Structure 1
Amino acid sequence: MSHTSRRLGMAGAVLTAVAIAASPAGAGSAVAGTECFDRAREPYTSQVDSHLHFRPFGGPAIGFEELTGYLNKSGVRHASMYGIGQMLPVNSPCTYYLNCPGTPVVPSMKNDFANAENYLAAKPKDPELAVSMTFMDLNHPETIPPGIALYDKEFPGVFRWAGEVNLVKQALFPNHHTAATSENIKNWAPFMKVLRDRGIPITIHSDLGNNAEQTKYLPLMEQTLRLYPANKIVWAHMGLSKELTTMDPDRHIKIMKRLLDKYPDLTLDLSWRVLEDNYFSKPGVREKYAAFFDRYPTRAIPGTDFVASRDKDYNTYAQELEVTSRINKALNDRAFRDIALGENYYRLLNLKESAPRVCGAA
């Protein structure tokens, strides 16, 4: 048991035992220090969660120590500690924007400050967390450099990631969100230089399109990649969403391959169960995506996209981790190590840690 789990006390230990027994993927394995990872015996669930929202859109959050306990129970050893930059009004009874169309959801620093304060109070070593700046309003880029300067002053050295930030998120259109424009993207240069100079990855939510117009918004991401090719850009959910559920997998994979080949610093984010539910789980489709990831093993990172609102619990997190990890079972050993065991994530953050090799792998 990790030091963090011990701090949860005896009651937490009992809950942990019960929750692990119920977990569909089984308990996480303490592979640190072992010679190799045995895929035949160990869980297939990802050991990093690069897309985890420690704060909700509105309402109370799951406590910091409780949530880090979820990671320990699940065998997740590293996570990116997202807030949610786009918050519901404090007087709103809603905890999820989709339940409140017409209510504005606007960028805010509140969640980032809460995350930074919780992180500094706990200073966790297991799981190891990368605190992220999620306040960035890509439609008003002039506000971002002063915001970063404020974070530097208040929390020096704490923030090592940026995002998830919204270039275009159709699900938020009813809540007054609009897609960033081509002119907006040109004006990102000052803050993108800061991120580039510091080696900070930025996770961008940019929908490809919708079922009626499947690549409607692709030019926005292409412009971003063209203007900022040396930034560590992570494309959330590979551009897929609940609005785009019927795209031909071959067409989608072809677009991803083209962009990966053209932009070496682009990384694909495999978070959110929409990928599994609407694409990977369909007959014959999992094999196509697995072959794609096997060909590009260094270019993807896993995540749950779990949002830590207080109406959820460990079982909810464990289910999201299991569902988003199912693709791991179809990967070859190289891709499994790089993606599921975290090698790509460590590389993005320039960590000294390395993922364990897979037993029997060449």
Structure 2
Amino acid sequence: MNRLGRKSVISGTAWVAATIVLWPSAGSAAADERCFDRETQPYTSVVDGHLHFRPFGGEAVPFKETVGYLKKSGVRHASVFGIGQKLPVDSSCTYYLDCPGTSVLPSLKNDVVNAENVVEFKPKDVDLALSMTFPDLADPKSVPDGMRMLDKEFPGMFQWMGEVNLIKQAILPNRHEPADIGDIRGWAPFMKRLRERGMPLTIHSDLGNNQRPTQYLHLMREVLKRYPDNKIVWAHMGLSKELTTMAPDRHIQIMKQLLDKYPNLTLDLSWRVLEDVYFSKPGVREKYADFFDAYPERAIPGTDFVASRDKNYEVYKKELEVTSRINKALGDKAFRNIALGQNYFDLLGIKETAPPICKA
């Protein structure tokens, strides 16, 4: 099939029922007989590998309501991220950018709330991967104790760690302390535990900014060099609102070099900034599609939706659609692995198989 210019007969989220019909249980005979028809089925991803069930501050969308967003939009698997950095309880803010100077500090609270919600509501029809988001990467000695506490209270429930911040420029005004090379060396104890458990680690690490596009690249290089056997997921491919003018060719080349050198690195395609600032530019979408087609097993999708109470299903639906637009340009193998979730399943060791793409 020609991947460019592909049009879906069914768009948005009106296709949920059709999607469920076309996705038999893993291991069933029907799984080998049915396929995903890209000409009639939607391009929106059926996994959300980067979803924040908790906000930075203020009231959250109720857990059951957020799960309902997934069901309505056809998302069948999602990671349950909290927000590792909380605004103070006496703050009126729900978003850190609205409160420069207010501390946004690491906390276990959101991870506990998420775990309690999973226990209480036991969602059906949507598979959720609970994630530890509390770690302060600039204080690595505190991480093993936090892991032990969560494991004691919720044995066997946590499957992921992250999103955690190595360097996030947007919260520097909120007293965020980036990790340095010495801190990264100190990660060894908890990284060992993650390896033993096969848990992915999603790291937010900005590449740089418009003035110095690769200012912080050395930090991620150090992580990958020191912990090559850990499953590392690089959130947003290192891009951000602070880095909007980087030449796509240069960005892609850096990504290729790291993927070639570190087989356990996975790219996270979440956050609409990627679509709005990079993928949607004339001639750029094709470059990134060619890149993902060349590395079809090395990326997972996500919305980066943050479930604060000022949002609703329409906001989630739009975030899913926007972050999924790159899927339309992908070849069949990359589409199956990314949009239909095979890379996500493999990353978590989920015994499920994405359907094959129907042949023309």
Fold agreement, TM-score > 0.5: yes
The correspondence for 2:23, drawn from 22, 32, 35, is: 32
Partner of residue 112, structure 2: 113
Unaligned runs of 5+ in 2: 1-9, 25-29
Gaps of 5+ in 1: 1-21
Q: Which amino acid aligns with 2:15?
A: A
1:320 is aligned to 2:319: yes
Query: Per-residue deviation at 1:96?
Result: 0.3
Counterpart in 1 of 2:89? Answer: 90
- Matched position secondary structure for 1:163: strand
| Counterpart residue number, 1:307 | 306
Q: Secondary structure in 2 aligned to 1:160? A: strand
TM-score by length of 1: 0.93
What does residue 53 of structure 1 align with?
A: 52
Structure 2 residue 127 is matched with structure 1 residue 139: no
Contact 2:47 2:340 in 1 (8 A): yes
Q: Distance in 1 between matches of 2:81 and 2:316?
A: 15
Deviation readout 1:227-253 (Å, 9 max, x if unpaired):
000000000000000000000000000
Tell me the distance in 2 between the aligned counterparts of 1:25 and 1:75. Answer: 7
| Paired residues, number | 340
Q: 1:351 is matched by which residue type in structure 2?
A: I
Match of 1:339 in 2: 338
- Whether contact under 8 Å (1:23, 1:318) holds in the other structure is no
Q: Give the structure-2-normalised TM-score.
A: 0.93
Any residues of structure 2 matched to 1:111-190 within 5 Å, and which? 111-190=110-189
* 1:12-58 CA distance string (max 9 Å, x none): xxxxxxxxxx9845433213126111111111000000000000000
Instruction: Describe the superposition over 1:71-127 as per-residue Cα deviations: whole angstroms up to 9, x where unpaired.
Output: 011000000000001010000000000000000000000000000000011222321
1:5 is aligned to none
Asked if 1:268 corresponds to 2:231, the answer is no
**Residue 70 (structure 2) aligns with:** 71
1:241 matches 2:229: no
Distance in 2 between residues matched to 1:177 and 1:83, nearest whole Å: 17
CA offsets 1:152-175 (integer angstroms, 9 cap, x no match) = 110000100000000000000000
> Which residue of structure 2 aligns with residue 211 of structure 1?
210
1:253-275 superposed Cα distances (whole Å, 9 cap, x missing partner): 00000000000000000000000
* Root-mean-square deviation over aligned CA pairs: 1.1
Q: Which residue of 2 aligns with 1:297?
A: 296
Shift of 1:292: 0.2
- Are the equivalent residues in 2 in contact too, given 1:50–1:301 (CA < 8 A)? yes
Whole-angstrom distance in 1 between the partners of 2:59 and 2:281: 36
8 Å CA contact 1:23, 1:315 repeated in 2: no
The Cα offsets for residues 133-192 of structure 1, whole Å up to 9 and x where unpaired, read as 000000000000011010111000010000000000000000001221100000000000
* Contact persistence 1:27–1:73 (CA under 8 A): no
Task: Name the CA distance, whole Å, in 2 between partners of 1:84 and 1:130.
Answer: 15
The 4+ residue runs of structure 1 with deviation greater than 4 A are: none
Structure 1 stretch 298-307 or stretch 351-360: which is displaced more?
351-360
How far the C-alpha of 1:217 sits from its partner, in A, is 0.1
What SS does the corresponding residue of 1:152 show, helix, strand or coil?
helix
Q: Contact between 1:25 and 1:44, CA under 8 Å: does it hold in 2?
A: no
Residues in 2 aligned to 1:125 and 1:298: alpha-carbon distance in whole angstroms: 28
Preserved contact between residue 61 and residue 309 of structure 1 (Cα < 8 Å): yes
Comparing 345-354 with 24-33, greater Cα deviation is found at 24-33
Identical counterparts, % of pairs: 68
Query: 2:156 aligns to what SS in structure 1?
Result: coil
Does the 8 Å contact 1:162/1:203 carry over to 2?
Answer: yes
Q: 1:168 touches 1:179 (CA, 8 Å); kept in 2?
A: yes
User: What per-residue deviation string (whole Å, max 9, x for no partner) do you get for residues 189-236 of structure 1?
Assistant: 000000000000000000000000000000000000000000000000
CA contact (8 A) 2:130 2:159 kept: yes
The answer to whether the Cα contact below 8 Å between 1:286 and 1:327 also exists between their aligned partners in 2 is yes
Q: 1:351 to 1:24 in 2, by over 3 A?
A: closer
Instruction: Say whether the 8 Å CA contact 1:23–1:319 is kept in structure 2.
Output: no
**Alpha-carbon distance between aligned partners in 2 of 1:230 and 1:340, rounded to the nearest angstrom:** 25
Q: Distance in 1 between matches of 2:228 and 2:123?
A: 33
Amino acid paired to 1:275 = L
SS where residue 352 of structure 1 aligns? coil
Asked if structure 1 preserves the Cα contact closer than 8 Å seen for 2:13 and 2:72, the reply is no
Alpha carbons 2:50, 2:270 under 8 Å: kept: yes
Do the aligned partners of 1:70 and 1:317 also contact (CA within 8 Å) in 2?
A: yes
Return closer, same or farther for 1:279/1:242 CA change in 2, 3 Å cut-off.
Answer: same
